[in-house]
Amino acid sequence: MLDPLVEQVIVWVGLALLLVLCLPIAGIQKLVLEVYAWALRLALLALLGAAAYLWFYPGELPAEVGDTLNNFPRLKALLPEPGTQLFGVCAAALLVAVFLPLLAVLDVGRKLAGWRLRRLRALAAEPRVVAAPPAPAPEPRPVPVVRRVDRRSAADTLAGAGSRKPPRGPNPVE
């Protein structure tokens, strides 16, 4: 027996801890989700292990299981007779199938809580960048003026540039 004062201290410490766990702090939320997800995962694995054990030793099923099944006649109608090899496997499969969606919800919530926590840490670690004043606009360059060329001057220019015909006039070879 504990001292009544120690019992009261334990109760109040437990209430304070539950109060802190209920606060919307990302780190605490992630921790709670991690602990619950791992506890549920380990419990389901232990249940499957117990079903495998009952397959090999069906006579070691506790009598309390049969008494509990008597309180749930519809469940008793679904499952094989207690004490058979199939009873442990069917009961474990039913319980695991019921709790798998809860495990999935805990895993998704845990990942989302971690994403939000990582985003907050990234924002806190991100260096503050002071915006530099905008660079002055470059000075406009003068645009070359295109003059309209008439056909006659264009023809003279092309003729003067050189043609493939030999020049007229005295033949220098002769």
| Percent of the chain topping pLDDT 70 | 83
- 147 assigned to some structural domain: no
- 167 assigned to some structural domain: no
- 59 assigned to some structural domain: yes
What is the model's pLDDT at position 120?
63
| Percent of the chain topping pLDDT 90 | 36
Output the CA–CA distances (angstroms, integers) from residue 90 to 44, 54, 93, 138, 164, in the order listed. Answer: 14, 11, 5, 79, 102
Q: Retrieve residue 39's tokens.
A: 């506890």
Q: Retrieve residue 3's tokens.
A: 């001292």
Please give the model's pTM, rounded to 2 decimal places.
Answer: 0.59
Residue 37 and residue 67 in contact, taking contact as beta carbons nearer than 8 Å: no
Question: Is the pLDDT assigned to residue 25 strictly greater than 90?
Answer: no
User: Could you list the residue range(s) of the whole structural domain that residue 95 is in?
Assistant: 26-124
Indicate the number of domains in the chain.
1
